[in-house]
Structure 1
Amino acid sequence: MKRYKAAPSRWLIAVPSMALAVLTSVPIQAETANKPTMAALLGQSSEQALGVEGIREFRLANGLQVLLAPDDAKPTVTVNLTYRVGSRHENYGETGMAHLLEHLIFKGTPKTPNAFAEFNKRGFRANGSTWLDRTNYFASFAYNEDHLRWFLGWHADAMVHSFIAKRDLDTEMTVVRNEMERGENDPQSILMGKTLASMYQWHNYGKDTIGARADVENVDIGRLQAFYRTWYQPDNATLIVTGKFDEAKVRRWIETEFGRIPKPKRALPRFYTLDPVQDGERSVTLRRVGGTPMLFSAYHVPPGPHPDTAAIEMLGLILGDTPGGRLHKRLVEAKLAASIFAWNAALADPGFALYGVQIAPGGDVDKARTALLATLESIETEPITIQELERARSRWLKDWDMQFNDPERVGVALSESVAQGDWRLFFLLRDRVRSVTLTDVERVAMERFQASNRTLATYLPTDKPKRAPAPKRVDLAAEMSTFVAGPALAKGEAFDPDPALIDKRVQRSSLAGGLKLALLPKSSRGQSVNAQWVLHFGDAESLKGQRSVGTLLAALLDRGTRTLSRQQISDLFDALKAEVSIHGGPDGLVVRMHTQRRYLPDLIDLVGQMLREPALSQTALDELRSQLLADLASQRQEPEALAENALQRHGNPYPRGDIRHARSFDEIEADLRSVTVEQLQAFHQRFVSARHAEFAAVGDFDTTAVKTALGLAIQPLAAEAPYTRVPTPLVKVPATKLTLALPDKQSATLLVRQAVELSDADVDYPALMMANWLLGGPGGDSRLWLRIREKEGLSYDVRSQIQWSNVEPHSIWSASVSFAPQNAVRVETAFREEVARAFKDGFTAKELASGQQSLLSFRKLSRAQDGALAAAMVSQLELGRTFEQTRKVDEAIAGLSLDQVNAALRRYLHPDDFVMAWAGDLKP
């Protein structure tokens, strides 16, 4: 919903998806007395509370709050359990405890000692996250009643029976330290921590959620267990279930699984600390290696439930949006900055609004700072216009609609409103945004965005200090008393992602201009539709020297046409309730679209105009070039980017200018600097054509209207340059070990790569896919994960994957590990030993059975996502395939034997051919 938000990842701490726990210990029981019988518990009827726009709430007798939002339109279900405890609730010496507990919950219970292995077996896309006011655990998966009931039962079990054991804490400690070290590599994340620490004098919002290293490394297991017993209880939790499910059954299951937990007798601690009003400018300076200059200007704002939050949200867009925001116009367009962002943190207690600026290498920091503060703190002399407010309102409400229309997103989004005190705030804020006035927005800006409430500059005493309003809590009941719920959103149809059923519904055809179509109309929540449009052009000879030209052209297509400015295009996207992204390179373009039924034809018309008539102005090119050069400067100091670039260049046989040539950072920079507007115009005129293109749409749309719109859009797209796919035959490269030194980087990276003589059409494709899944795939029970992450605690993230070729026998197997530089030898030893063990002993029948179930579940889950389905349909059009091949692959995976999987591993992966790249502060 807050599309302008750009919080550094370290400030929203999450356990990596499909993390796995295998160690067990003595369980901790919740402290209860006189447990009631099951019959007595079920006899205590749950309390029906209220319903808002299709979301219904009820409470169990033990205090658990439950929100149900059934929607059959998407054959997936999302379960999200939010505990109202975060880093705000930590005491002295306990920083990071809420996050540590999030990790240890996944270490299991006596009933389920290996939680993430069970998630993986059922095909769950699962994770957890810790923030200032809450911790939540969530999973999305293809609808299955047995899986849903099991997951509800696991949540109830984990609420009171989790191992919070010393041995698990010890093994996980290195993982959490590596997570800290990854954050220490990010100057933006570090600067954020320093800024908030300067802003808050007493309140815990000024402390990093991941915690102080000393607190985390010396945490007392007894205190952590007490923290768990206090906060992980039904009366402090909200369970949210959204998507496809039988409401009556799910309610009974919840009452059965959670109802047996007694209502706790303890009283939750009361927190009352508030910072006094800030009475002068504060500043902080950070000096680190790498990255580009940045500026933050942060201001204290009211709590999320406060009526002024709507005005703060509007100011975030009016000031911090791109391209229409004032900061973009006055800093980016004036070439004082490469990019800007805004972030409003609506929290349970008084929060903050933060505006950031990234400055291009060599930029003038003083001039950028002056322009930043002058823009933010000039509302009194430069009033906001009604046009600015209405544009921001339209953008914000569009984003809210997009989020609410997606069952998987809305279930997790409600966590933030729960954390602020009432889930209905999600709707109240929308209503307040609808009605907020220009007077309110200007008043809040003048009250809050002033020097004495700012954290950036040095303190300057003054005889008459001007202060923002003193912070105070909100009377939540009074605020909610005037709230009136809107009508519930209409549900979509039930959809089965079975490949054969999908094929029966897909309508494949082509238009006179050569455009191939694959259309799958179906009703959906909010009448939403996802579409993808792919254009191919050029060949190896004609595209020589055009790599950066094609990339820049793709990035400039949404920055104006001959008749529409960038801002007008942005406004039209909002009016059409559309999310559009355009990506590409020298040999093609990919356009992704998400909108609603009635807007898709007009959106196709708009995108067609963008493809046919791009403005390609010098101003837009200079702005984009500045942003890309700033990003490139940051990548030069990032271990992963450095290692990836080194692997691409090792043994690359193609000369400079060939689009298959792997460029150095210096070559990339030189190419970016050399591109001219004339080159862009010539490239567009020569290559951009609909003669070799595919379009797919999935969701709620009118087939005839879409075909008509596409026919009109492609008629002028008739460039004559021939298209032949650029071949990328397999090239053997010598095995080697590349070491890349990066001083002052506290997290290092290992990347491993080997070319595989196989495509996704070969008979061994399913077997090698499964072999990789068991060795290092995203499942939490893979060999590499269990050894490097779980057993030895050396890495926050370790995995392997295969980049499959669809055309020729040249796929790429790769593996990656992040780790503390001092653990490099242990990481290499563990990696090589696990690969060797897999080759020597092979996988087990138990591993294969679990892997087959989880891989097939993940493939089914992918087909349940409309955007992913549209992308698959586009690819099939290009390759001449249907979902019959998908069905055959699923069938082959289900029928794999252990001998086939082990043989594929040994046939195609060769450790002696591995190319390994190590990057970081790798001191002896």
Structure 2
Amino acid sequence: MKKFLLSLTLMTTLSAGNLAYAQKHEAPKFVTNIEGTKEYSLSNGMKILLLPDPSQSNMVVNIIYNVGSKDEGYGEKGMAHLLEHMLFKSTKNLGDIKKQLSDKGGAANGTTWYDRTNYYEIFPSNDENLKWALMMEADRMINATILQSDLDKEFSVVRNEFEIGENDPSGVLMEKVFSAAYLWHNYGNSTIGSKEDIERVKAPVLRKFYEKYYQPDNATLVIAGKFDEANALKYVSEYFAPLPKPTRELGGTYTVEPAQDGEKFVEVRRSGDSKIVSAGYHAAAYADKDYAALDALIEVLTADPSGYLYKNLVETQKVSSLWAYSPTVRDAGLVYFHFDVPKDKDLEATKNLVRSELDKIATIAYTEQDLARAKAKLLKQIENTKNNTINKAIGYTEIVGAGGYKLAFLYRDNVEKLSLADLNRVAQKYFKSNNRTVGIFIPSKDEQRVKPAEFSNEQIAALTKDYKGKALEKEAAPFEASIANLKNNLKEGVLSNGMKYGLVNKELKGEKIIANFKLLIGNEKELAGKSSVGALTAALLSSGTKTKTKEQIQDRLDQLNSSIYFRTSGQNFLINVSTYKNNFAEVMDILQDILANATFPQNELTKMIAENNTYLEAQQKDPQAIASNELQRLANPYPKESIFYTPTLQEEIDNNKKVTRDQITAFYQNLMGANDGLGTVLGSIDAKTTANSLEKTFGKFTAKIKYSEVKPTYFETKKLDKNFITPDKENAVALGTEKFRMDQKHPDYAALVLANEILGSGGFLSARLPMRLREKEGISYGVGSYLSVPVTNDVASWNYYAFLNPTKRDAVEAAWKEEVSKALKDGFTAQELADNKKSYANVQQTNLGMDNTLINLVNKKLQYGVSLDEYDALNTKIQALKLEEVNAALKKYLSLDKIISVYAGDFNKK
């Protein structure tokens, strides 16, 4: 005991840098390697997973604690989530964690759910970042300060986050269904917790919770991406091995939800226009083989357009849309269905109709085609996750919380082995009306009740003990995150119709290929009043062609582990493609067929209008939607005939109702084409073969009406503060904008970018606005600012946003205006300049490790002729800026007398 106390004293008093030398190091013990996931362990109980991927230029450190809302007791609801926030405050050794994360750049976050809490950091791959991240996570595992003064501010931030969720009708209803479905198990409690518990908990109580669960024997550390494995293990040994295994026994939770003995009903009455029917069925834990079968059954029931529920409810326009899911959880969860109901439908009648359709689940004669289609969809999702190492490492969070990372492989194996008998078995076992929560008690005789299987830790250990997994796949080649390397691996070309393209030769994991295309269409006259027509055209493109039905298109894309998405934005028709090297040619053939032979079925148009309008109706009383819409209308007063006109939400609904199939067909035949298009393909591609495929897909796709760029009009903004009242909404929002003239070539651009970094957008919540409103005063969950500076015109803007409790409206307004005034009057400090130069450079380097950044840079070059070197040139300019230049730029372009602000919320609340 004396030796243990001495060790603990050393750990809490020595600096993090000296911590490693306080005790003898222990090398992590190798356990197993399953398909590239290398497992190690320490004698203190900590698990380590390494997922090396040299094709990445970034790395992620993700630490997972097996504690979530499931582990909260009486009076502790929301404690796990509140503690997640508090661990971003400070530690005894490192001090301000957010400040240091900000200085490092990159991306960081923490999340909490039923069974787990995690923290992760994504940084450019280098030894310094790896060492710091591991040192920091080891320090805050045992040395978080958890000060009452910090808690007094942070509980308001968490309460504001709680209130944001309270504005979402679908989220509120789902929370109530889960709560009613679970009589005893804590899955019935929302992870974000009780507002009363959040507000009343004291720091000493929170510390007891922290000291119990935030320990090495309750943690799994994941390191993924590009990193030196030997150094990673060395740092794990240096910082985590000295932490002693606690003497306490966690014990775990032991509550088992009893079988439900009658159908339950929940009614929620709140402000809003949304009509929703939902239903939850007690089902299986993630470790249960039934979980994979239930996932497949969900696809069979809800898929667009083949699902049985989809055909019987959406196709017939009884509901406008539906979705379903089953959470990845340690104990028996729910299968949850959500149905959006059009405004003109009777809700009670629809509820009974939905119940009637759900009752058919156990009696449907499912087919082998149903099974094959569902398996293809699920395996595509699994394959895509496997081949994105960073996302996979973060995705392990849920699997570890559900019992251990090996369960992910068992789930995949279970999906691959699924039979029609499995589908029928789970349909008949779980989908009984007495197992459903859609409360009255109805006596019944000889009731057959559903009791979910319980899995002990020993059973899960037995399931996974000797699991070996499949053979290791070939590692993707490294790709340096730099503009020079991008230029060396870029080939450009022009198709026969004038479309420009770029090919980036970057090997991705699993030989994945991603491509983004932008087709520039129309002119001011031809696009006037056609925003709804254009949006619906894009949404309906894949609804069928002269050679394939919508179902056939979707089925084949799922079988190929591929996706094609369309959308419009002004004069831009956007196409995103995700596939794999061996499937690229066929996927592009499918795209060519869609572009050349789309049929736009009338029934699909009718359904899409209903779905869009149901969503818009729900937005009519949502503070964020109202504020965004009204701000655009106030700042950009275009006439209705302009393509830049922002309609009201009701006008958008009315416009959708007026759209005809003939209008869509005319838009498609006359305005759409690739002759003024551009696009980039990224992956391990053969340039000649890919160029031939692009020519085949786009070369003959030519618009009849010539493209002519429409430039926006400059409207000078003047000071305006306007309120919009949204009764009975728990959260409010503030949005604002100021217009000025600038393009990205302007000599003041770099200085203004850095000024805005310091004021509202730079670092990890360390810019002035978030530091004041969130960190110091705790009156806003999310607050910040951003610039919008174009390439080819000079209509630019500075913008801010803040989410808040409606009772804090005046405090938020006073705080953001005061911070802007201080910056304009006194300027920034030399330290702020230095810190933000560093964090900006780090963020830019992190972004170069992201595939979408590379694609966007090439597309920008193709469209505007902007050299790739401008990416580094801007950072060079920013690093050379003097303090007086940054302060002068802010004063020149930002003025409180020119900012339009819109506040939306229930400001009548006291």
Q: TM-score range by the shorter chain?
A: over 0.9
Q: Name the CA distance, whole Å, in 2 between partners of 1:860 and 1:613.
A: 43
Q: Name the CA distance, whole Å, in 2 between partners of 1:833 and 1:40.
A: 48
Q: From 766, 769, 776, give the equivalent of 1:784.
A: 769
Q: Name the CA distance, whole Å, in 2 between partners of 1:898 and 1:30.
A: 50
More displaced, 231-240 or 730-739? 730-739
Q: The residue matched to 1:51 in structure 2 has which SS?
A: strand
Q: The residue matched to 2:204 in structure 1 has which SS?
A: helix
Mapped contact 1:447–1:469 kept (Cα < 8 A):
no
Instruction: Name 1:904's counterpart in structure 2.
Output: 889
Matched, 1:831 2:816: yes
Q: Name the CA distance, whole Å, in 2 between partners of 1:585 and 1:414.
A: 35
- Which letter maps to 1:854? S
Q: From 373, 376, 379, give the equivalent of 1:391.
A: 373
Mapped contact 2:28–2:233 kept (Cα < 8 A):
no
Within 5 Å, which residues of 2 pair with 1:137-286? 137-286=119-268
Instruction: Name 1:566's counterpart in structure 2.
Output: 550
CA shift for structure 1 position 768:
0.6
CA shift for structure 1 position 461:
2.0
CA shift for structure 1 position 489:
2.5
Instruction: Name 2:35's counterpart in structure 1.
Output: 53
CA shift for structure 1 position 778:
4.7
Alignment deviations for residues 899-924 of structure 1 (CA, whole Å, 9 cap, x no partner): 11111111111110000101111127
Alignment deviations for residues 532-577 of structure 1 (CA, whole Å, 9 cap, x no partner): 1110111112222222111111111122222211111111211221
Q: Name the CA distance, whole Å, in 1 between partners of 2:581 and 2:336.
A: 36
Mapped contact 1:70–1:247 kept (Cα < 8 A):
yes
Q: Name the CA distance, whole Å, in 2 between partners of 1:45 and 1:879.
A: 54
Matched, 1:868 2:853: yes
- Which letter maps to 1:274? V
Instruction: Name 1:290's counterpart in structure 2.
Output: 272
Matched, 1:506 2:490: yes
Q: The residue matched to 2:108 in structure 1 has which SS?
A: strand
Give the TM-score normalised by structure 1.
0.95
Q: Name the CA distance, whole Å, in 2 between partners of 1:45 and 1:345.
A: 36
Alignment deviations for residues 742-768 of structure 1 (CA, whole Å, 9 cap, x no partner): 100111111110112111121211111
Mapped contact 2:28–2:236 kept (Cα < 8 A):
no
CA shift for structure 1 position 41:
4.5
CA shift for structure 1 position 374:
3.1
Q: Name the CA distance, whole Å, in 2 between partners of 1:772 and 1:52.
A: 46
Q: Name the CA distance, whole Å, in 1 between partners of 2:364 and 2:419.
A: 17
Matched, 1:666 2:650: yes
CA shift for structure 1 position 370:
3.4
Instruction: Name 1:848's counterpart in structure 2.
Output: 833
Instruction: Name 2:782's counterpart in structure 1.
Output: 797
Alignment deviations for residues 71-128 of structure 1 (CA, whole Å, 9 cap, x no partner): 0111010111000000111111111110110010001112222112211211121000
Matched, 1:85 2:73: no
Instruction: Name 1:13's counterpart in structure 2.
Output: none
Mapped contact 1:500–1:887 kept (Cα < 8 A):
no
Mapped contact 1:309–1:346 kept (Cα < 8 A):
no
Within 5 Å, which residues of 2 pair with 1:486-565? 486-565=470-549
CA shift for structure 1 position 216:
1.3
Q: Name the CA distance, whole Å, in 1 between partners of 2:264 and 2:513.
A: 47
Q: Name the CA distance, whole Å, in 2 between partners of 1:41 and 1:621.
A: 69
- Which letter maps to 2:862? L
Q: From 314, 318, 326, give the equivalent of 1:336.
A: 318
CA shift for structure 1 position 299:
0.7
Q: Name the CA distance, whole Å, in 1 between partners of 2:747 and 2:406.
A: 53
CA shift for structure 1 position 326:
1.7
Mapped contact 1:80–1:411 kept (Cα < 8 A):
yes
Matched, 1:373 2:358: no
CA shift for structure 1 position 872:
2.3
> Structure 1 residues 464, 73: closer, same or farther in 2, change over 3 A?
same
Q: Name the CA distance, whole Å, in 1 between partners of 2:89 and 2:807.
A: 26
Q: From 805, 811, 816, give the equivalent of 1:820.
A: 805
Matched, 1:449 2:428: no
Mapped contact 1:789–1:795 kept (Cα < 8 A):
yes
CA shift for structure 1 position 38:
5.9
Q: From 43, 63, 68, give the equivalent of 2:50.
A: 68
CA shift for structure 1 position 864:
1.4
Q: Name the CA distance, whole Å, in 1 between partners of 2:563 and 2:273.
A: 30
Instruction: Name 1:636's counterpart in structure 2.
Output: 620
Q: Name the CA distance, whole Å, in 2 between partners of 1:895 and 1:686.
A: 50
Q: Name the CA distance, whole Å, in 1 between partners of 2:532 and 2:284.
A: 46
Instruction: Name 2:15's counterpart in structure 1.
Output: none
Q: Name the CA distance, whole Å, in 2 between partners of 1:586 and 1:171.
A: 42
**Structure 1: gaps of 5 or more residues:** 1-28
Q: From 112, 122, 130, give the equivalent of 2:112.
A: 130
CA shift for structure 1 position 255:
0.7
Q: The residue matched to 1:355 in structure 2 has which SS?
A: strand
CA shift for structure 1 position 408:
1.0
**RMSD, aligned CA:** 1.8
CA shift for structure 1 position 274:
0.8
Instruction: Name 1:25's counterpart in structure 2.
Output: none
CA shift for structure 1 position 207:
0.7
- Which letter maps to 1:546? K
Mapped contact 2:486–2:854 kept (Cα < 8 A):
no
> Structure 1 residues 396, 418: closer, same or farther in 2, change over 3 A?
same
Mapped contact 1:276–1:471 kept (Cα < 8 A):
no
Q: Which structure 1 residue ranges, 4+ long, deviate > 4 Å from structure 2?
A: 29-41
More displaced, 774-783 or 372-381? 372-381
Instruction: Name 1:465's counterpart in structure 2.
Output: 447
- Which letter maps to 2:53? D
- Which letter maps to 2:902? A
Q: Name the CA distance, whole Å, in 1 between partners of 2:250 and 2:674.
A: 63
How many residues are treated as equivalent by the alignment? 896
CA shift for structure 1 position 46:
2.7
Q: The residue matched to 1:263 in structure 2 has which SS?
A: coil
Q: The residue matched to 1:77 in structure 2 has which SS?
A: strand
Q: The residue matched to 1:269 in structure 2 has which SS?
A: coil
CA shift for structure 1 position 269:
3.4
Alignment deviations for residues 394-443 of structure 1 (CA, whole Å, 9 cap, x no partner): 11001101011001110011111111222100111000110021111211
Alignment deviations for residues 45-79 of structure 1 (CA, whole Å, 9 cap, x no partner): 43221110011011112111000010011101011
Mapped contact 2:48–2:221 kept (Cα < 8 A):
yes
Within 5 Å, which residues of 2 pair with 1:689-708? 689-708=673-692
CA shift for structure 1 position 338:
1.2
Alignment deviations for residues 667-723 of structure 1 (CA, whole Å, 9 cap, x no partner): 212211111100111111111111100010112222222111111112431222111
**Structure 2: gaps of 5 or more residues:** 12-18
Instruction: Name 1:746's counterpart in structure 2.
Output: 730
Instruction: Name 2:337's counterpart in structure 1.
Output: 355
Mapped contact 2:25–2:241 kept (Cα < 8 A):
no
Alignment deviations for residues 14-68 of structure 1 (CA, whole Å, 9 cap, x no partner): xxxxxxxxxxxxxxx9997687996695454432211100110111121110000
More displaced, 501-510 or 904-913? 501-510
Q: The residue matched to 2:675 in structure 1 has which SS?
A: coil
Q: Name the CA distance, whole Å, in 2 between partners of 1:558 and 1:642.
A: 31
Mapped contact 2:363–2:428 kept (Cα < 8 A):
no
- Which letter maps to 1:606? I
Q: Name the CA distance, whole Å, in 2 between partners of 1:345 and 1:667.
A: 37
Instruction: Name 1:581's counterpart in structure 2.
Output: 565
More displaced, 710-719 or 52-61? 710-719
Instruction: Name 1:918's counterpart in structure 2.
Output: 903
- Which letter maps to 1:116? K
CA shift for structure 1 position 654:
2.5
Give the TM-score normalised by structure 2.
0.96
Q: The residue matched to 2:472 in structure 1 has which SS?
A: coil
More displaced, 345-354 or 833-842? 345-354
